Each structure stands twice: as structure tokens, then as C-alpha cells.
Amino acid sequence: MSAVAVSTAPAVIAAEGRISPRAGLRHIGALARRNLLQMKADPESMFDVLLMPVIFTLLFVYVFGGAVSGSQDAYVNYVVPGLMAMMGLNIAMSVGSGINSDFKTGVMDRFRTMPIARSSVLIAKVIVEIGRMMVAMAILLAMGFALGLSIKTDVLHLLGAVALAVLFGAALTWISILLGLSVNSPQAVQGIGMLVLMPLQFGSSIFAKPTTMPDWLQSFTKVNPLSNLADASRALINGGAYAHSVWITLAWAAGITLVTAPLAVTRFRKKT
């Protein structure tokens, strides 16, 4: 048995090196379709995407609206663009647990014995998560409009805000995947993810203006990428200068992807 494994592994690695870009795209499409069929067979896996935007919008508008902005109506246009940043982060962080569970069930071991690019398995995951983020964004905006959200720019700027939030969320997905490949259990992924989520979300401009925070926390919000994303989305929807925040967010997304995506693929190849 071990002799077969030893003789097969080099062949698989060699086959991966000969995979053409066209074949790689075909593999990504097939794996993405597999992930979608899994969600179809398990509709409960979409509960976070369907319910989280509704619960968060109602909760934050009606709990914090009066305290932060004086009224719920005024707060909607502030918090909904911020929640767009929060949606991408929360959905991205859930991927790591799924990746970790797939290794426990042996699914990933099966993929690694097939003559496919290792990166295609992970890229397919990211693509499906982008689709989930877009569904969450649509529900979030629908809830926002129902509560009084108004677009003070135009539809193109609104779509730009959605695209920016999804792009940044896709970059964060690579961090979650790397985390899922680096720890021993889905519970550990969730625990570490929560430790990352809480300070990033609440130490930002998503829910309140940083000017109301103490100086030390304001310093953190200035370098927090979620603050830049929330500010960019807010300006794209409500009007105002957005170029600086957009470019900073794009730079963060590119940097995170360039660093964590190769590390995740390398870890995927070596994980036992």
C-alpha cells in the first residue's frame, strides 16, 4: 500500500505541473459546481447568508440608532454601508471551519490524489463564497431600503460599493482558508476567528464615528482596514470624497491576497 502511495505521489505532482490554464479553469468550474450542489443538498448552510443581514440590520438600527445618531432613520444611511464591510468579514471567516472539516472527512485527501491543480480546490471555494457574499449584500440592501436607506449618488456608485465589499471579503477568505489549514479542529478555527472578528468589527467606523472614541482606539480605527472599507462604502452611497478610502481598501485586498493565497496553497499541499 505504501509503495503504491510513494509511486503515485510524484506522478500526481508532475501531472499538476503540466495542467494548462484552460484545464485549470475547467477544474475550478467543476469544483465550484460541486460546492454549490453541496449547498443545495444542505440548505441550512445558507442560513447565515439569509438571516444574518436581516438580524444585524434590525438589531443595530433599532438598538444603536437612537443613541448614535439621535434617530433610527438617520442611522440607517450610516450603518448599512458599514454592515456591508461586516458581512464580507463574517462570511469569509466561516470558510476555514468548512475546509478543516473536509480534511477530517478525507475529502481533501481524495482531491490531492487527482491530477488537478491544488490551487483549483481553494479557488473554487473562494468563488462560491463570493456568490454567498453577493446574496448577503442583496438581502442587506433590501433590508436597508425597507428601513429607509436612500442612495444619494447613483446606482453605479452603489454597485461600486458592493463590488468593493465583496472584493475585500474575497481577500479575507484566503486568511480564513489558511487558518482552517493550520489548526487542528473546526472549533479552534471558530474560536480564533471570533478573537479576530470582534476587535476588527467594533474597533472601526462601522457602527459609530471614531471621533467619539478614546484617542488610543481612534489610532487603531485609522489603521483598521474595515474602517477604510466602511468609509469608502458610505461615501459611495451617501456622497463625498471616496477615492482615498477606495485605494487604501484595494491595496489591503491585494496585499492580503498576494501574501495569504500562496501560503494557503502551499499549506494545502503539505497538510497531512
What's this model's pTM, rounded to 2 decimal places?
0.85
Residue-wise pLDDT tens digits, 110-133: 776 777 777 888 898 999 999 999
The answer, yes or no, to whether residue 8 has pLDDT greater than 60, is no
**Mean pLDDT calculated for residue range 151-172:** 95
> Which residues are within 8 A (CB) of 183 and not within 5 positions of it... i.e. 6 or more apart?
100, 189, 192
Q: Where are the beta strands (DSSP E) in the chain?
A: none
Higher-confidence position of 94 and 218: 218
What is the rounded average pLDDT for all residues in the chain?
Answer: 85
CA distance 92 to 173: 4
Closest CA to 208 of 183, 230, 186: 230
User: Euclidean distance between the first and final Cα of the chain, in Å?
Assistant: 17
**Mean pLDDT calculated for residue range 35-43:** 80
**Mean pLDDT calculated for residue range 36-62:** 86
State the pLDDT confidence band at 29, using cuts at 50, 70 and 90: confident
The answer, yes or no, to whether residue 262 has pLDDT greater than 80, is yes
H or E element in which residue 162 lies:
helix 155-182
CB 76 within 8 A of CB 145: no
Q: Look at residue 263 and give its three-state secondary structure.
A: helix
State the pLDDT confidence band at 12, using cuts at 50, 70 and 90: very low
Instruction: Identify the residue whose cell numbers are 446574496.
Output: 135
CA distance 272 to 267: 10
Q: What is the pLDDT of residue 10?
A: 40
All cell numbers assigned to 238: 451617501
